Amino acid sequence: MKRNVQDTTVLSNGVKMPGLGLGVFKVEEGPVLVEAVKAAIRHGYRSIDTAAVYGNEAGVGQGIAEGIKEAGLKRSDIFVTSKVWNDDLGYDSTIAAFETTLEKLGVDDLDLYLIHWPVEGKYKDAWRALETLYKQGRVKAIGVSNFQISHLENLMSDAEIKPMVNQVELHPRLTQKELRAFCRSQGIQIEAWSPLMQGEILAHEDLKELAAKYNKTPAQIIIRWNLQNEVVVIPKSTKEHRIISNADVYDFTLSKEDMETIDELNQHHRVGPDPDHFDF
């Protein structure tokens, strides 16, 4: 069977989630965003990831609506993820935030809804709200973002439903091996945000050598490394040629040695905030 951008991983509740999607962090509302989403759908992407705090859910919704119409698809063909922001964590406020997200996206339900950050003293109430939405069938899967092992253990100590996904910063400088192993043991799918380290890592000599060896780009090498590690990956781009290029990773396989070479680039280095020490 030929592998492609529509390949999925099966979450713990049986829901199929594409292994590769489009991220839209820091992409402002407007035609550039709408066109990026449409381009992704046109070139086979079936997963779009946004968040309330990105302030672009309306544009994402427009891009999805126009993209599926042009491609002759249905809403159910696209896996849509959004996240509840820190200010809205709490039982009632999370439910209200979810309603706002649906309205902005122009959809009746979500495929995945995440708690964006583990704000102490708040995320358990928000999780109860996600459990309610899940039981009501308004979201197909629920999860968290930026949760460390300690946060997950605390959440699961009295949760009815385990998170199905944990979306975290993950790239060759931050390989998250311990967290990945823990999540695998709990049946929680790891998803990588900032997989290309906001471009910082692309000039690394080891990655350039691997790119030359496989006749690929450093970005494609990193995306392939994630997929082979069974990590869902959502590289962000607004440029059509990059959106196409980021998905051109299904015609080669990195060797075990080359996977290890990338693993060895780990320095526990973050480009985003530390989930144990953030103040927003």
- Rounded CA separation 238/257 (Å): 33
Contact 72, 41 (CB under 8 A): no
Q: Of the listed 45, 54, 134, 214, which one is catalytic?
A: 54
For 87, 223, 261, the CA distances from 220, given in Å and listed in that order, are 36, 5, 15
Contact 98, 109 (CB under 8 A): no
- Rounded CA separation 77/86 (Å): 29
**SS3 state at 137:** coil
User: Where on the phi/psi map is residue 124: left (φ > 0), alpha (ψ -120 to 50), or beta?
Assistant: alpha
- Residue 54 among the catalytic residues: yes
Q: Match 């509840």 to its residue by tokens.
A: 84
CA-closest candidate to residue 165, choices 75, 90, 232: 232
- What are the catalytic residues? 54
